[in-house]
Structure 1
Protein backbone atom coordinates (compact mmCIF):
# COMPACT_ATOMS: atom_id res chain seq x y z
CA UNK A 1 0.00 0.00 0.00
CA UNK A 2 2.89 2.33 0.72
CA UNK A 3 4.27 1.85 -2.81
CA UNK A 4 0.90 2.69 -4.35
CA UNK A 5 0.80 5.93 -2.35
CA UNK A 6 4.35 6.80 -3.39
CA UNK A 7 3.52 6.14 -7.05
CA UNK A 8 0.40 8.31 -6.81
CA UNK A 9 2.46 11.11 -5.29
CA UNK A 10 5.06 10.73 -8.06
CA UNK A 11 2.37 10.95 -10.76
CA UNK A 12 1.00 14.07 -9.08
CA UNK A 13 4.50 15.54 -9.03
CA UNK A 14 4.94 14.87 -12.73
CA UNK A 15 1.58 16.50 -13.51
CA UNK A 16 2.56 19.53 -11.43
CA UNK A 17 5.90 19.78 -13.25
CA UNK A 18 4.12 19.67 -16.61
CA UNK A 19 1.73 22.44 -15.55
CA UNK A 20 4.67 24.48 -14.27
CA UNK A 21 6.52 24.10 -17.57
CA UNK A 22 3.41 25.13 -19.53
CA UNK A 23 2.97 28.24 -17.35
CA UNK A 24 6.64 29.18 -17.61
CA UNK A 25 6.65 28.62 -21.38
CA UNK A 26 3.59 30.85 -21.70
CA UNK A 27 5.17 33.64 -19.67
CA UNK A 28 8.59 33.28 -21.30
CA UNK A 29 6.91 33.14 -24.71
CA UNK A 30 5.26 36.51 -24.09
CA UNK A 31 8.59 37.99 -23.02
CA UNK A 32 10.43 36.47 -25.98
CA UNK A 33 7.80 37.67 -28.47
CA UNK A 34 8.04 41.18 -27.04
CA UNK A 35 11.83 41.10 -27.40
CA UNK A 36 11.76 39.51 -30.85
CA UNK A 37 13.79 36.46 -29.84
CA UNK A 38 14.95 34.14 -32.58
CA UNK A 39 14.80 30.43 -33.22
CA UNK A 40 17.85 29.69 -31.08
CA UNK A 41 16.28 31.28 -28.00
CA UNK A 42 13.04 29.33 -28.49
CA UNK A 43 14.92 26.06 -28.90
CA UNK A 44 17.01 26.76 -25.80
CA UNK A 45 13.88 27.32 -23.72
CA UNK A 46 12.23 24.17 -25.06
CA UNK A 47 15.34 22.04 -24.48
CA UNK A 48 15.75 23.35 -20.95
CA UNK A 49 12.06 22.71 -20.21
CA UNK A 50 12.36 19.17 -21.55
CA UNK A 51 15.48 18.57 -19.43
CA UNK A 52 13.60 19.88 -16.40
CA UNK A 53 10.75 17.43 -16.99
CA UNK A 54 13.19 14.52 -17.39
CA UNK A 55 15.04 15.56 -14.22
CA UNK A 56 11.76 15.74 -12.28
CA UNK A 57 10.75 12.30 -13.56
CA UNK A 58 14.11 10.80 -12.52
CA UNK A 59 13.99 12.43 -9.07
CA UNK A 60 10.40 11.24 -8.52
CA UNK A 61 11.30 7.72 -9.66
CA UNK A 62 14.27 7.57 -7.31
CA UNK A 63 12.28 8.92 -4.38
CA UNK A 64 9.18 6.79 -4.98
CA UNK A 65 11.33 3.65 -5.21
CA UNK A 66 13.37 4.74 -2.16
CA UNK A 67 16.63 4.47 -4.13
CA UNK A 68 18.10 7.80 -3.09
CA UNK A 69 17.73 11.50 -3.68
CA UNK A 70 19.31 11.79 -7.17
CA UNK A 71 21.08 15.10 -6.53
CA UNK A 72 21.84 15.95 -10.21
CA UNK A 73 18.09 16.16 -10.84
CA UNK A 74 17.69 18.54 -7.91
CA UNK A 75 20.51 20.66 -9.33
CA UNK A 76 18.87 20.84 -12.75
CA UNK A 77 15.59 21.81 -11.09
CA UNK A 78 17.36 24.65 -9.29
CA UNK A 79 19.03 25.73 -12.54
CA UNK A 80 15.64 25.83 -14.28
CA UNK A 81 14.19 27.86 -11.41
CA UNK A 82 17.05 30.36 -11.54
CA UNK A 83 16.95 30.78 -15.32
CA UNK A 84 13.18 31.31 -15.40
CA UNK A 85 13.40 33.80 -12.53
CA UNK A 86 16.27 35.67 -14.22
CA UNK A 87 14.45 35.86 -17.53
CA UNK A 88 11.21 37.09 -15.99
CA UNK A 89 12.86 39.51 -13.55
CA UNK A 90 12.96 43.11 -14.68
CA UNK A 91 10.25 42.63 -17.28
CA UNK A 92 6.97 44.43 -17.01
CA UNK A 93 4.16 44.20 -19.44
CA UNK A 94 0.61 42.93 -19.62
CA UNK A 95 1.10 41.07 -16.34
CA UNK A 96 2.25 44.11 -14.37
CA UNK A 97 5.11 43.88 -11.90
CA UNK A 98 7.42 40.89 -12.47
CA UNK A 99 7.88 40.09 -8.75
CA UNK A 100 4.60 38.14 -8.34
CA UNK A 101 5.27 36.21 -11.56
CA UNK A 102 8.77 35.26 -10.41
CA UNK A 103 7.51 34.19 -6.98
CA UNK A 104 4.66 32.11 -8.39
CA UNK A 105 6.82 30.40 -11.02
CA UNK A 106 9.58 29.77 -8.48
CA UNK A 107 7.19 28.22 -5.99
CA UNK A 108 5.49 26.09 -8.65
CA UNK A 109 8.90 24.82 -9.74
CA UNK A 110 9.59 23.60 -6.20
CA UNK A 111 6.30 21.69 -5.79
CA UNK A 112 7.40 18.54 -7.72
CA UNK A 113 10.48 18.33 -5.51
CA UNK A 114 8.38 18.78 -2.37
CA UNK A 115 6.24 15.90 -3.61
CA UNK A 116 9.43 13.88 -4.23
CA UNK A 117 10.38 14.29 -0.57
CA UNK A 118 6.88 13.21 0.44
CA UNK A 119 7.10 10.18 -1.89
CA UNK A 120 10.48 9.25 -0.40
CA UNK A 121 9.07 9.37 3.13
CA UNK A 122 5.99 7.41 2.05
CA UNK A 123 8.06 4.72 0.33
CA UNK A 124 10.52 4.36 3.22
CA UNK A 125 9.98 1.36 5.49
CA UNK A 126 8.21 2.20 8.76
CA UNK A 127 10.95 0.75 10.98
CA UNK A 128 13.17 3.10 12.94
CA UNK A 129 16.38 1.44 11.89
CA UNK A 130 17.19 2.08 8.28
CA UNK A 131 18.12 -1.04 6.37
CA UNK A 132 21.51 -1.19 4.74
CA UNK A 133 20.65 -0.33 1.16
CA UNK A 134 23.06 0.71 -1.42
CA UNK A 135 21.59 3.43 -3.62
CA UNK A 136 21.25 2.69 -7.29
CA UNK A 137 24.29 4.00 -9.09
CA UNK A 138 23.85 5.38 -12.55
CA UNK A 139 26.49 4.25 -14.99
CA UNK A 140 29.23 6.82 -15.33
CA UNK A 141 28.39 7.50 -18.99
CA UNK A 142 24.73 8.25 -18.16
CA UNK A 143 25.78 10.65 -15.39
CA UNK A 144 28.18 12.38 -17.75
CA UNK A 145 25.49 12.60 -20.42
CA UNK A 146 23.00 14.16 -17.98
CA UNK A 147 25.54 16.69 -16.78
CA UNK A 148 26.58 17.46 -20.35
CA UNK A 149 22.96 17.97 -21.42
CA UNK A 150 22.29 20.23 -18.46
CA UNK A 151 25.40 22.32 -19.12
CA UNK A 152 24.75 22.60 -22.84
CA UNK A 153 21.13 23.61 -22.34
CA UNK A 154 22.20 26.20 -19.76
CA UNK A 155 24.80 27.50 -22.20
CA UNK A 156 22.20 27.76 -24.97
CA UNK A 157 19.84 29.64 -22.69
CA UNK A 158 22.57 32.02 -21.56
CA UNK A 159 23.57 32.67 -25.18
CA UNK A 160 19.95 33.32 -26.09
CA UNK A 161 19.56 35.73 -23.17
CA UNK A 162 22.77 37.53 -24.11
CA UNK A 163 21.61 37.78 -27.75
CA UNK A 164 18.24 39.15 -26.66
CA UNK A 165 19.95 41.73 -24.44
CA UNK A 166 22.22 42.79 -27.31
CA UNK A 167 19.21 43.17 -29.61
CA UNK A 168 17.36 45.14 -26.95
CA UNK A 169 20.31 47.49 -26.41
CA UNK A 170 20.73 47.90 -30.19
CA UNK A 171 17.03 48.74 -30.53
CA UNK A 172 17.29 51.26 -27.69
CA UNK A 173 20.35 52.82 -29.31
CA UNK A 174 18.44 53.26 -32.56
CA UNK A 175 15.48 54.84 -30.78
CA UNK A 176 17.53 57.34 -28.75
CA UNK A 177 18.53 60.56 -30.47
CA UNK A 178 22.11 60.45 -31.60
CA UNK A 179 24.67 63.10 -30.88
CA UNK A 180 24.56 64.25 -34.50
CA UNK A 181 20.82 64.70 -34.15
CA UNK A 182 21.29 67.04 -31.21
CA UNK A 183 24.06 68.89 -33.00
CA UNK A 184 21.90 69.41 -36.06
CA UNK A 185 19.20 70.95 -33.89
CA UNK A 186 21.77 73.22 -32.27
CA UNK A 187 23.19 74.17 -35.68
CA UNK A 188 19.78 75.21 -36.98
CA UNK A 189 19.47 77.86 -34.29
Structure 2
Protein backbone atom coordinates (compact mmCIF):
# COMPACT_ATOMS: atom_id res chain seq x y z
CA UNK A 1 0.00 0.00 0.00
CA UNK A 2 2.74 2.43 0.98
CA UNK A 3 4.63 1.69 -2.25
CA UNK A 4 1.56 2.58 -4.37
CA UNK A 5 1.09 5.80 -2.40
CA UNK A 6 4.78 6.66 -2.85
CA UNK A 7 4.58 5.96 -6.62
CA UNK A 8 1.53 8.19 -6.90
CA UNK A 9 3.14 10.93 -4.81
CA UNK A 10 6.54 10.80 -6.57
CA UNK A 11 5.28 10.76 -10.13
CA UNK A 12 5.42 13.88 -12.23
CA UNK A 13 2.17 15.72 -12.81
CA UNK A 14 0.45 14.97 -16.12
CA UNK A 15 1.57 17.15 -18.99
CA UNK A 16 -0.96 18.95 -21.14
CA UNK A 17 -0.68 18.30 -24.87
CA UNK A 18 1.10 21.35 -26.20
CA UNK A 19 -0.61 23.53 -28.75
CA UNK A 20 0.34 27.19 -29.02
CA UNK A 21 -2.14 29.63 -30.53
CA UNK A 22 -1.29 30.25 -34.17
CA UNK A 23 -2.48 31.50 -37.53
CA UNK A 24 -3.89 29.06 -40.06
CA UNK A 25 -3.99 30.02 -43.73
CA UNK A 26 -6.77 28.44 -45.78
CA UNK A 27 -7.07 29.72 -49.30
CA UNK A 28 -6.87 33.51 -49.23
CA UNK A 29 -7.95 33.82 -45.59
CA UNK A 30 -5.90 33.79 -42.40
CA UNK A 31 -7.70 32.41 -39.35
CA UNK A 32 -6.69 32.25 -35.70
CA UNK A 33 -6.40 28.76 -34.21
CA UNK A 34 -6.10 27.96 -30.53
CA UNK A 35 -7.02 25.43 -27.87
CA UNK A 36 -10.74 25.39 -27.03
CA UNK A 37 -11.73 26.64 -23.58
CA UNK A 38 -14.96 26.58 -21.58
CA UNK A 39 -15.60 30.13 -22.82
CA UNK A 40 -16.00 28.72 -26.36
CA UNK A 41 -18.70 26.19 -25.45
CA UNK A 42 -21.72 28.44 -26.04
CA UNK A 43 -20.60 29.24 -29.60
CA UNK A 44 -19.70 25.58 -30.22
CA UNK A 45 -23.18 24.51 -29.05
CA UNK A 46 -24.83 26.93 -31.50
CA UNK A 47 -22.69 25.51 -34.31
CA UNK A 48 -23.41 21.92 -33.26
CA UNK A 49 -27.16 22.54 -33.41
CA UNK A 50 -26.89 24.23 -36.83
CA UNK A 51 -24.91 21.34 -38.31
CA UNK A 52 -25.91 18.22 -36.40
CA UNK A 53 -29.62 19.01 -35.94
CA UNK A 54 -30.60 15.67 -34.39
CA UNK A 55 -27.33 14.62 -32.77
CA UNK A 56 -25.49 17.67 -31.34
CA UNK A 57 -23.17 17.37 -28.40
CA UNK A 58 -24.36 19.00 -25.20
CA UNK A 59 -22.58 21.28 -22.74
CA UNK A 60 -21.64 18.42 -20.41
CA UNK A 61 -19.92 16.54 -23.25
CA UNK A 62 -17.78 19.57 -24.09
CA UNK A 63 -16.92 20.30 -20.46
CA UNK A 64 -15.92 16.68 -19.93
CA UNK A 65 -13.74 16.57 -23.03
CA UNK A 66 -12.00 19.89 -22.33
CA UNK A 67 -10.82 18.56 -18.96
CA UNK A 68 -8.81 15.75 -20.57
CA UNK A 69 -5.87 17.92 -21.60
CA UNK A 70 -3.21 15.21 -21.31
CA UNK A 71 -4.64 12.90 -24.00
CA UNK A 72 -7.01 15.07 -26.00
CA UNK A 73 -6.85 18.25 -27.99
CA UNK A 74 -9.80 20.45 -28.90
CA UNK A 75 -9.14 23.40 -31.16
CA UNK A 76 -11.24 26.38 -32.25
CA UNK A 77 -10.78 28.39 -35.43
CA UNK A 78 -11.79 32.05 -35.60
CA UNK A 79 -12.27 34.52 -38.42
CA UNK A 80 -11.74 37.68 -36.38
CA UNK A 81 -14.23 37.18 -33.51
CA UNK A 82 -16.42 34.63 -35.30
CA UNK A 83 -16.08 30.94 -34.43
CA UNK A 84 -15.83 29.27 -37.83
CA UNK A 85 -14.89 25.70 -36.90
CA UNK A 86 -13.66 23.35 -34.21
CA UNK A 87 -12.10 19.91 -34.04
CA UNK A 88 -11.37 17.45 -31.25
CA UNK A 89 -9.11 14.41 -31.08
CA UNK A 90 -8.08 11.85 -28.47
CA UNK A 91 -4.50 10.58 -28.60
CA UNK A 92 -3.67 7.11 -27.30
CA UNK A 93 -0.43 5.18 -27.47
CA UNK A 94 -1.27 3.43 -30.75
CA UNK A 95 -4.34 5.25 -32.02
CA UNK A 96 -5.67 8.77 -32.38
CA UNK A 97 -9.42 9.29 -32.72
CA UNK A 98 -11.22 12.30 -34.18
CA UNK A 99 -14.13 12.83 -31.79
CA UNK A 100 -15.79 15.84 -33.38
CA UNK A 101 -15.35 18.29 -36.23
CA UNK A 102 -17.67 21.08 -37.26
CA UNK A 103 -17.45 23.95 -39.73
CA UNK A 104 -20.02 26.76 -39.58
CA UNK A 105 -22.43 26.59 -42.55
CA UNK A 106 -21.24 29.93 -43.98
CA UNK A 107 -17.64 28.65 -44.04
CA UNK A 108 -18.21 25.16 -45.45
CA UNK A 109 -16.72 24.23 -48.81
CA UNK A 110 -13.67 26.46 -48.36
CA UNK A 111 -11.14 23.83 -47.25
CA UNK A 112 -11.35 24.55 -43.53
CA UNK A 113 -12.40 21.02 -42.55
CA UNK A 114 -9.61 19.55 -44.64
CA UNK A 115 -7.04 21.90 -43.09
CA UNK A 116 -8.16 20.98 -39.56
CA UNK A 117 -8.13 17.27 -40.37
CA UNK A 118 -4.61 17.52 -41.83
CA UNK A 119 -3.47 19.34 -38.71
CA UNK A 120 -4.77 16.56 -36.44
CA UNK A 121 -3.33 13.86 -38.70
CA UNK A 122 0.06 15.58 -38.45
CA UNK A 123 -0.27 15.85 -34.67
CA UNK A 124 -1.12 12.15 -34.41
CA UNK A 125 1.88 11.31 -36.58
CA UNK A 126 4.16 13.51 -34.44
CA UNK A 127 2.92 11.75 -31.29
CA UNK A 128 3.85 8.37 -32.78
CA UNK A 129 0.40 6.83 -33.12
CA UNK A 130 0.08 4.11 -35.74
CA UNK A 131 -3.39 5.07 -37.00
CA UNK A 132 -6.10 7.69 -36.77
CA UNK A 133 -9.79 6.77 -36.66
CA UNK A 134 -13.23 8.37 -36.71
CA UNK A 135 -16.90 7.61 -37.13
CA UNK A 136 -19.03 9.23 -39.83
CA UNK A 137 -22.74 9.02 -40.55
CA UNK A 138 -23.37 6.60 -43.38
CA UNK A 139 -25.53 9.23 -45.09
CA UNK A 140 -22.87 11.99 -44.93
CA UNK A 141 -21.35 11.65 -48.40
CA UNK A 142 -19.57 15.02 -48.26
CA UNK A 143 -17.63 14.10 -45.12
CA UNK A 144 -16.87 10.61 -46.41
CA UNK A 145 -15.49 12.13 -49.63
CA UNK A 146 -13.15 14.36 -47.61
CA UNK A 147 -11.99 11.47 -45.42
CA UNK A 148 -11.32 9.29 -48.48
CA UNK A 149 -9.34 12.17 -50.01
CA UNK A 150 -7.22 12.23 -46.84
CA UNK A 151 -6.52 8.49 -47.05
CA UNK A 152 -9.09 7.08 -44.64
CA UNK A 153 -10.43 3.62 -45.41
CA UNK A 154 -13.99 2.40 -44.88
CA UNK A 155 -14.56 0.09 -41.95
CA UNK A 156 -17.42 -1.61 -40.19
CA UNK A 157 -20.92 -0.15 -40.09
CA UNK A 158 -22.28 0.52 -36.61
CA UNK A 159 -26.04 0.11 -36.76
CA UNK A 160 -28.00 2.65 -34.70
CA UNK A 161 -24.79 4.36 -33.52
CA UNK A 162 -26.45 7.76 -33.05
CA UNK A 163 -28.82 7.18 -30.15
CA UNK A 164 -31.29 10.01 -30.76
CA UNK A 165 -31.93 9.15 -34.43
CA UNK A 166 -30.78 5.52 -34.63
CA UNK A 167 -28.73 6.53 -37.69
CA UNK A 168 -25.84 4.30 -38.68
CA UNK A 169 -22.17 5.26 -38.56
CA UNK A 170 -19.18 3.89 -40.41
CA UNK A 171 -15.79 3.44 -38.75
CA UNK A 172 -12.99 4.86 -40.85
CA UNK A 173 -9.25 4.55 -40.29
CA UNK A 174 -6.04 5.85 -41.75
CA UNK A 175 -2.73 4.11 -41.10
CA UNK A 176 0.08 6.49 -40.17
CA UNK A 177 3.35 5.15 -41.51
**Larger RCO: Structure 1 or Structure 2 (Cα < 8 Å, ≥ 6 residues apart)?**
1
Instruction: Say whether the fold is shared (TM-score over 0.5).
Output: no
The structure with the largest helix share of the pair is 1
TM-score normalised by L of structure 2 = 0.32
TM-score normalised by L of structure 1 = 0.30
Look at both structures and tell me which one has the larger radius of gyration over its CA atoms: 1
